Structure formats: structure tokens, C-alpha cells
Structure 1
Amino acid sequence: MTQARAASYGAPLSLPAILAFACTSIPISALILAVAVHLPRYFASHLGMSLVVVGGAFALVRAIDIPLDPMLGLVMDRTRSRFGRYRLWTVIGAPVVMGALYMLISAGPGTGQLYLIGWLLVMYLGLSILLLSHLAWAATLAPTYNQRSRIFGVLTAVGVTGATMVLLIPVIAASQGYTDAQGVQAMVWFIIAAAPITVAVAVWRTPERITQDHETRFRLRDYWALLTRPNILRILAADLFVTLGPGWMAALYLFFFKDSRGFTTTQANLLLMIYILAGFVGAPLAAWLANRFSKHRALMINTTIYSVVLVTLILLPKGQFLAAAPVMFILGAMAAGFTVMIRALTADIGDEIRLESGREWMGLLYAMTNATTKVAGAASIFLTFNVLAAVNYNAAEGATNSAATIRGLELAYMIGPVVFVMLGGACFFGYKLNAKRHAEIRTELEARDALYDEAPVLEGLTGEPGGVSR
């Protein structure tokens, strides 16, 4: 690689270039939202499946799918092609997601659990490929401490756009007289249409630099050694907890806001939209906090504010949209910060490990955090749906629940998220990988890489270096 090309790559990406790359976050975030909030309820209410069956199906699929993520990460890290390392896998993931979603919304009443499990498994596999490759690719585009806060902040903000767009669909559908089930189906069709378009834009406009692996051997004990590293354990535990808290809320969201707080489906979706839109403020705020106080402290600030504000929801008057809106905005802003910081911290830890091991681990690291995210997602649906069943909650359309059952719903909605989110922030007490230490790591990596013949930057399909700032 020439010095000029190296310097070009090292410069920060322009905002248009980052936005072109980040647009793939639109279908990813839209699908994550749909899976967390709408699809489980769709299967339980529209298809007539029991809560236990739906919760068990999602938990089983995640249990099967989770071990696949580390294998995917390893394969991605070892991929070398003229089309790229992570860029190639981003292209592969889109059609897998599209096909699985089509099969899921093609199901009708009476669909068996095996059908649901099978296509959920394919859907999660495609989502893993798309998400892991996109995150690992992003980490290679932003090599410095502050650049990473910026690029992951933009990715999160663009993801907010996707989540907001998909959330508007059932609101618009309801205003036009369509049923809740038809609104969910329209959400899925939006994701199917957005995936190939956004992936094509990202691939067309964004380069990828494949770093040279100075240690090419991979041994099983290297993987297990990775799992024993304190910083790896910190990031995995933190990701589990800060995902489980909001995931727990998401699984109970419509039940809580309709039956406990007295909101209509449309009002609940609008409040959720405010929660999602708050990411436009929360993502850059988290990046600012990270660059001012360090990333791990920014995460701890976010988890504390989130937990304190959450408990005020139960104190608000029922059915008062204007009273609930600012609370949901603050919660959404803080939750967006969780995503930005976990992803940026993972990239920093990846540099630390590459310096010590001599090979790229970024794909595997994001696979590991994605696995903990899946554990949290599976646990949130499985645990919350079983809690609802234990308090005799009836999820059927038009059903009436007793005051005691609603109280159980309220306690479940509040206690779980507060405990888990605070544990997530506590994971970073004593964390040492700050901006100064990361700068030292990057200096050593660049000095070592200069001694090797690195792979060239892979150009965008236009022949230009993907909008790199000059």
C-alpha cells in the first residue's frame, strides 16, 4: 500500500460517505424492532398460538442460533476476496433475511410450531450475517477512538430512521382502517424491499481495507483464551444486561401501555416512535459524552439515567399522552447510547487483541456480542411471556384481565429492566482501556503493519475510494 493511499484511508470519512455506508442500518434496525415488539404478539394474537408456544419458539430458535454466531465471525475474519472481507458477507445476508420474512408472513392460522421455528431460524441467521458484517466493516472504517464514537453514532441514528419508518407503517395502516395484523405484514414488506436497496448503496460507495494477519494459525485454545480476557467478559456481560433490560420492556410494551396505562394501539405506537426518534439525540449525545468523559463512563451515565426515569412511568396519569411523551423520549435517548457505546467499546477491544495476537478478531468479537444480544432477546421473550402466563394474563384480542393480573404486569415491566440495565453499567468499574491507552495501541498497530505488505484498499464499484475525505 502506498503512503498516499494509507494516509487517505486514515483520514476520517466524510459525512456523506458515512451515511451511504450506514443506510444498511435501516432494514437491520427495522427488523430488530419488529422482532422485539410486533412479531411475537402477531403470532400470539393473529395466528392464535399460545403465549407459552410463542415464547418457547423464540427461545428455542435463539438457543440454536446463538452458537452459529462465533462460527460466522470466524469465517468472516478469515475471508479474503477481491470483493472484500466483511463487504462480501453483507451482500450474502440480505437475500437470506428477505426469503425468511416472506415465508413467515405467508403463514396463516393453524400454522404449526415447527414451521415457525424453522423460518425464524433462517431469519435470525440472515440477520446475524447482515449485522455482524456491517459492524465489523464499520470498525475497520474508523480506526481511532473518537472516530469510532462518531461513526457508530451515525449508524445508530440512521438505524433510528429505519425503526421510525417501520413503526409509522402500522399507525398509517390503522388510520386507513386496516387491522393490526395487516399493519405488521406491511412492516415486513417494507423490510424486504429496503434490504437489497440499502445494501447496494453501501457496497457501491464504501471501500474496505483488509488488514494483514501477522499470525495466520487459529487454534481452538485461542478462542477459549479470548473468552477468559477481562475486557471480553466485561463487554459480553454489559451487552447482555443493557440488551436484556430494554428487550424485557419491548416484549411487554404493548401489553403494558394498553392494559395498564390505558393507551390505544395507535397511541402506544406513537409513544414508541418518540422512544425510537430520541435516538437522533441520544446517539450523538453518547458520542459527545464518550469523547468528553470516555466511553465506559458514558455508558454508566446512560444506564443510571435510564433506570431512574423508567420508574416514573408508573406514576404518570393513565392515558395522558403528553405526560408520557417526554419520559419515553429520555428513555429512548439513553437506550440509543447503550448501542453506540457497546459497539464502539467492542471495536477498541478488538484493536487491543489484534495487537497482542497478531490477527483480526473483529468479526468474532461482534459475533460474541451479537450472541449475548440474542441470549437477551430470547430470555426477554421467554421469561416475560412465562411471567404473564404465571399471573394469568390473557393476551387474546378483546380479553379482559383482573386488577391483580395488571399489577403483576406492571411489576414485571418495571423491576426487570432497572435491575439489568444497572448491572450493565456496573460491569465497567475499573476499566482501563481509555482514549490514551487506545491511542498507544493504534500507534503500535500502525507501526507493525507498516513492516508488512498490506492488502490494498478495495475500491467502490465506481472506482473511487468510497468517499474518503481528502
Structure 2
Amino acid sequence: MTSLVSVTRSKIMAYGGLGTPLAMIGYPIAIWLIPFYSEVTKFQLALLADLLLLARLTDVITDPLIGQWGDSTATRAGRRKPWIALGVPLMMIAVYMLFVPGEDVTVTYFLFWMVLMYLGFTIIGIPYGAWGAEISPEYHQRSRIVSGREAFTLIGLLISALIPLGVEVSGEGVSLKEGLNRMLAAIFLFKDFSTSNQMRDILEYMGLGIILLLPIFAAIALWKVPDPMPKVKKKIPLKEGLKYAKENPLLVRILAIIFLVIAGESFRNTLSLWFVRDVIGIETVGASYARYFIAGFLAIPFWLWLGKVIGKHRAFCITLIGTGTVSFLCFFLEFGDYAQFHALFLLKGACFGGLQFLPASMLADVVDIDSLKTGGRRAGTFFALNGMIAKISAMLAVWAAARLVDFFGFIPGAENGENEMLALRFFYCIGCAAFFLPALYLTWFYPLTKEKHAELRAELENQN
């Protein structure tokens, strides 16, 4: 296992860098893809929700398989790197086909490329998450590794927000200098610009950005970061491993927390663009998300410090309380309440920094309990379970959010009545509370403190 001393800042940065293009994929899927295919290609919202649900169902099969195969892989390069190298070209092709579609997009076309994109993301994402848990066994060192990765994730999200902002503030006759000035004015002076009929260009430029950066950051990580092969007493078959996982109450708890939090975030994110644009009246949506991710990036050191002082789980409770409070207060905003919305959205962005890395770091600690009990090292299987739970959660939440507003008559890109807009407002602002309240309860009484984890690590080292 890589020693504590050898995990240098440069290795953490090289590992974390791959999080940038992976986040650039997640942001447009969460915020822009459904509005684009419902408003531009004219897919009915309910049909789009059903297609996304169907595409995501494939992850239920592929996630545990990729996790198990990754744990069983043994090559000179390591056991995580070959999978990442395999997933990169698949992801690049699928992103291009989805983000730069032609004028006539069929249901079959959309479903096929969504399935392949999700498969590529699984082949990269599960080994990548497990890799981060194996670089170091130490409690706070893991927080450094995970927080470094999530810092780059926020950079990727920021880039993804700046790309649509660049499209939003540009246009015929707008020079590069004027465009940059407009971007700065939109971000820091809260200036709004008209953005009609630009969604196709926004999605295309985001796709090309992903295709450019993904192979670069993947190559740096594969070259610079060690892929340790931990000493394993025995290999745990997938079926037996799932049985052990079920019998690990801390794993069940952290996966339940992750399920609820991602469901709440995904439910709201599905409706986010329409709420910002149609309820509050802000057209330059990219600027709002740029500020949001800047706040999240700047807040990561605070959440890292707070996790050390009061424990990761208590720090995570504070992020949940902050996020839920902001969402609730947004319900009372009216069209034109720009200043109030910007203030609340910045606070939500700061909380987002903690939501990103604290649960992943907590999950890495739970892996040690399994290793102590079974004698196996199965971070890949655990992060596959995490990935599968996260994807199922997001899948169901996205489907539910789109289906609910569609049921109440909301039509994307059209003039909606008072009742339809009230439904959009209610589900965006209050819907996440149904998920965050039970997550807060489970997190508040989370038993694995840093002191108990230190005891586990000592026992595990003695076992080895």
C-alpha cells in the first residue's frame, strides 16, 4: 500500500484532475440535457423521463460487474488503470453523438447513445473512485485525496458553467474582448443578457470541451499516480461480497445517506434551469452556476477543516441543513427577486462543496470495516455499490421530477399558467426536503468517528 509520505500534493492533483472532465459530463446531463431535448428536439417531457429511466436501468447490471472485475484485475499497470483507459474512448464517442446531434433525433438514437455514455461513465467512474480509496489508508489523508478530487470536480463544473455563459453573452458583432467583459459583468456584477435560441450551441460547445479534456487528464492520472495492489488474503466472489455488504450496517447506512442526498439534489437539478429562468426571470443561467461552483470550490477548505474539528458526519449534517434551508427559502421568491436569489444560490453553492466530498470520504472509511471482517480488499465492489445506488437514486429522482411537473401541465419552453408555475416552484423548492430530512437523521447518529476509525486501522494493520 502506498505510504503516507509518498502521497504528495502533485500525485493528489494528478489523480484529482480526472475529476474535471468527469464533472463536465455530469453538469450538462443534470441541468441542460433534458431542457435541450424537450425544448429543441421537441421530445415530450414524460417520454424523455421514461427514456432516461430505461437507459439508467442498465447500470444496475453493469455497476457491480465492473466493480467486481476491477477488484479481480491484476496487471503490471495496476487493477484500476486498464479500465479507465478502456472507458475514455467510449465516453468520447457517446458524448459527441449526444451533445452534437443532427436536426432529426429519433427515440432509438437517443436511447442507444445514452446507454453507451452511461456504460463509459461506469467503466471510468467506478475504478476511479476505488483508486482514490486505495492510494492511502489513513483517515485524514483520504480526506485530502477525496477533497482534492472534488476540488477538481468543482473546477470541471465551473468550466461547464462558463461554457454556456460564453455562448450566452456572445453573438453577432460581439468581439472577444467585449465577450470577456460581458462574462465578468454577468458573474461579478450580476448583469443579465438575453439568451434566446442558443441551447443547441451551448450543448455542442460543452460536448467538445469534454472530448478535448477527458483524454488529457486521463493520461496525466494514468502516468503520474501509482495504482497500488493491496495485499489480499482472499478474493471474495460477487455474491458472497454482496452478502457481506448487506451485513455491514455502516455500509447500509452510508449508502442510504448517499441515496437520499443524491435523490434530493437530482430532483431539484432536473427543474433548476426552468426555475432560474422562468420563475425568477434570470436568462443568463450560466453566470448563476458559475458563481455557484466558485462558492463551492472556495468552501472546500472550510468543510475539510470542519470535518477534522467536529468529524466528517457532523460537518455533513451542517451542509444538509444549509442546503435544505436555502431550498425552502427559495419558495417565497417572486419573479424579479434577483438579489435575494443570488444570495441564496451562493450559500447553496458553498454547501455544495461539502456535499461533494464528505460522503465519499466517509464511504472510504467504511471499506476498512469490510476488509477487517472478510480479509479481502474490495474497494472497487464498494464503490460500484455506491455508484449503482447513486445512479438508481438519480434515475428515480430525475424521472419523478420530470413526470410530476409534466403531470401538472408544465410544458418546457412554452407559456405556462399560474398553476403550472406553482407546481414547478413547489417541487423545486420543497421536493428535496422529502429526501434531506431522513438523510439528516441517519447522518446525525453516524457512529464511525475519527477515533473509532483509528482503532479499526490499527487492528487491520495488525491483521495484515
State the TM-score, normalized to the length of structure 2: 0.91
Alignment correspondent of 2:343: 326
Question: Superposition pairs for residues 215-226 of structure 1, below 5 Å?
Answer: 215-218=234-237, 220-226=239-245
User: CA offsets, 1:152-203, max 9 Å, x none?
Assistant: 1111111111111111111111222282211111101100111100001111
Deviation, 1:320, is: 4.0
User: 1:11 & 1:221 partners in 2: Cα distance?
Assistant: 35
Matched letter for residue 157 of structure 2: A
Alignment correspondent of 1:276: 293
Deviation, 1:428, is: 2.7
Label 1:436 to 1:107 Cα distance change in 2 as closer, same or farther (>3 A).
same
Q: Does residue 435 of the first structure (1) align with residue 450 of the second (2)?
A: yes
Task: Flag structure 1 segments of 5+ consecutive residues without an equivalent.
Answer: 1-5, 450-470
Label 1:380 to 1:217 Cα distance change in 2 as closer, same or farther (>3 A).
closer
Alignment correspondent of 2:463: 448
Question: Superposition pairs for residues 19-418 of structure 1, below 5 Å?
Answer: 19-177=13-171, 179-218=198-237, 220-264=239-283, 266=284, 268-396=285-413, 399-418=414-433
Deviation, 1:224, is: 2.3
Contact 1:241–1:423, Cα closer than 8 Å, also in 2? yes
Contact 2:232–2:375, Cα closer than 8 Å, also in 1? yes
Matched position secondary structure for 2:432: helix
After TM superposition, the structure 1 stretch with the greater mean CA deviation from structure 2, 46-55 or 273-282, is 273-282
Contact 1:249–1:413, Cα closer than 8 Å, also in 2? yes
Deviation, 1:369, is: 1.2
Deviation, 1:363, is: 0.8
Matched letter for residue 421 of structure 2: I
Matched letter for residue 426 of structure 1: Y
User: 1:105 & 1:35 partners in 2: Cα distance?
Assistant: 10
Contact 2:87–2:120, Cα closer than 8 Å, also in 1? yes
User: 1:17 & 1:257 partners in 2: Cα distance?
Assistant: 38
Deviation, 1:342, is: 1.1
Deviation, 1:321, is: 3.5
Contact 2:4–2:141, Cα closer than 8 Å, also in 1? no
Contact 1:24–1:199, Cα closer than 8 Å, also in 2? yes
Identity of paired residues, percent?
Answer: 26
Matched letter for residue 129 of structure 1: I
State the TM-score, normalized to the length of structure 1: 0.90
Deviation, 1:261, is: 0.9
Matched letter for residue 416 of structure 1: G
User: 1:107 & 1:161 partners in 2: Cα distance?
Assistant: 26
Deviation, 1:272, is: 1.7
Alignment correspondent of 1:463: none
Contact 1:48–1:110, Cα closer than 8 Å, also in 2? no
Deviation, 1:87, is: 2.0
User: 1:361 & 1:326 partners in 2: Cα distance?
Assistant: 43
User: 1:401 & 1:279 partners in 2: Cα distance?
Assistant: 33
Question: Superposition pairs for residues 414-425 of structure 1, below 5 Å?
Answer: 414-425=429-440
User: CA offsets, 1:277-303, max 9 Å, x none?
Assistant: 222133222222211111111111211
Alignment correspondent of 2:188: none
Q: Which runs of 4+ in 1 moved over 6 A?
A: none
Matched position secondary structure for 2:3: helix
Deviation, 1:269, is: 2.0
User: 2:123 & 2:440 partners in 1: Cα distance?
Assistant: 28
Matched position secondary structure for 2:382: helix
Contact 2:168–2:286, Cα closer than 8 Å, also in 1? no
Contact 2:327–2:430, Cα closer than 8 Å, also in 1? no
User: 1:64 & 1:404 partners in 2: Cα distance?
Assistant: 36
Contact 2:84–2:128, Cα closer than 8 Å, also in 1? yes
User: 1:67 & 1:336 partners in 2: Cα distance?
Assistant: 30
User: 1:313 & 1:248 partners in 2: Cα distance?
Assistant: 15
Deviation, 1:225, is: 3.1
User: 1:115 & 1:182 partners in 2: Cα distance?
Assistant: 20
Contact 2:295–2:350, Cα closer than 8 Å, also in 1? yes
User: 1:102 & 1:349 partners in 2: Cα distance?
Assistant: 37
User: 2:338 & 2:10 partners in 1: Cα distance?
Assistant: 36
User: 2:244 & 2:146 partners in 1: Cα distance?
Assistant: 28
Task: Flag structure 2 segments of 5+ consecutive residues without an equivalent.
Answer: 172-196
Matched letter for residue 328 of structure 1: F
Alignment correspondent of 1:456: none
Taking only aligned residues, the RMSD between alpha carbons, in angstroms, comes to: 1.7
Equivalent of residue 426 in structure 1, options 441, 445, 449 = 441
Contact 2:248–2:370, Cα closer than 8 Å, also in 1? no
User: CA offsets, 1:202-261, max 9 Å, x none?
Assistant: 111111211021022526233223123211211111111111111111100111111111
Contact 2:323–2:351, Cα closer than 8 Å, also in 1? yes
Contact 1:214–1:358, Cα closer than 8 Å, also in 2? yes
User: 1:33 & 1:380 partners in 2: Cα distance?
Assistant: 16
Residues paired across the two proteins, number: 439
Matched letter for residue 212 of structure 1: K
